[in-house]
Amino acid sequence: MINCDELHSLLARDRVCERSDLGLRLATDCLYPSADVVFVHVAQFGGGFRITDGGGCARNVLVHAKDDQALRTGLEEARKRHGVTIEAGSLVAVVPDAEWLQAGILAVANGAALAASVAVDHTLRRTEKDLSLRIEEALGRVVAPHRIGKDVDWRGHSGKAWKIDFAVIDASRPLLVRPVSPHPASISAAYTAFGDIGPENSSRFCVFGKTISHEDQTLLRQVSDLVPVDAVELGARQALGLLN
């Protein structure tokens, strides 16, 4: 039976390695969208090796995206892109000998990271699409539809143009609005965009539907007002100076 020292020698480098029910659990250089490390499990299989993510991608997606259909879409994309197989929700590669071990590990690790990224992206787009519809309806009760810009490019201090979902721009102080979900990718995108745009000449709303962690709320409040979707209408009236 192979041990960690032998596995390290085959890979010509040291990595976090420990025995698991599926063989040897090995840390890789790949990361899930949540920034968690992708681990693979390596076991001898005939004259070669069987490598699997051990369901790690599925667990990561179901914790952070909570979407079975998005997970299936992500796993299928990984199967097509990286030549792995799907077995009971896990990604698997079987290689014939040690010469192919590194390639098999990379296929599974990159596949797991890709699958999670695709799944999260699907979930975020669906969640934020639903939020966007509610935001647009709320803003439409405050100002005429022609005053609401959608997918507006707004330039930040860096010179980069950020895509802003909604902007009421023909006002003395424009109102910029982005929907956000609890996932780290959504929080990071909103924080980066509004942080670069800054507070000087606009009001900025990050609008949420699902509960956001206290830490992420604190982060977003550094660059914007954090507004529950049910309060968008009232918040917009206040930001635009339309309250009696």
More confidently predicted of 122 and 66: 122
What is the predicted pLDDT for the residue at 170? Answer: 75
Q: Tell me which of 94-103, 118-127, 192-201 is least confident.
A: 118-127
Q: Quick one: what percent of the chain has pLDDT higher than 90?
A: 70
Question: Residue 16 pLDDT > 80, yes or no?
Answer: no
How many CB atoms sit inside 10 A of residue 19's CB? 12
Where is pLDDT greater, at 34 or 102? 102
In angstroms, the CA 114 to CA 32 distance is 8
CA nearest 204: which of 221, 183, 186, 189? 221
pLDDT of residue 26 exceeding 80: yes
Written as one letter, the residue type at 29 is: D
* Digit-coded pLDDT (tens) for 154-175: 999 999 999 999 999 876 789 9
pLDDT exceeds cutoff 70 at 14: no
Q: What is the pLDDT of residue 9?
A: 73
Name which residue leads in pLDDT, 9 or 190.
190
Are 30 and 113 contacting, i.e. CB atoms less than 8 angstroms apart?
A: yes
Inter-residue contact 115 to 77 (CB < 8 Å): yes
Q: For tokens 């299936």, what's the residue?
A: 72
Q: Hey, how many other C-beta atoms are within 10 angstroms of the C-beta on 231?
A: 14
The pLDDT, as a whole number, for residue 12 is 59
The residue assigned the tokens 């879409």 is 73
| Identity at 122, one-letter amino acid code | H
